[in-house]
Amino acid sequence: MKTDIQIAQEAELRPITEIAEKIGLSADEIIPYGRYKAK
* Tens of pLDDT, residues 24-33: 999 899 999 9
What average pLDDT does range 10-31 have in this prediction?
93
Listed residue (18, 15, 21) closest to 34, CA to CA = 15
Count CB atoms within 10 A of the CB of residue 15: 13
Strands annotated E in 1-39? none
Secondary structure (3-state) at 38: strand
Instruction: Indicate the pLDDT class of residue 20, thresholds 50, 70 and 90.
Output: very high
What pLDDT was estimated at residue 38?
84
What average pLDDT does range 5-30 have in this prediction?
94
Taking the whole predicted model, whether its pTM rises above 0.95 is answered as: no
What pLDDT was estimated at residue 14?
94
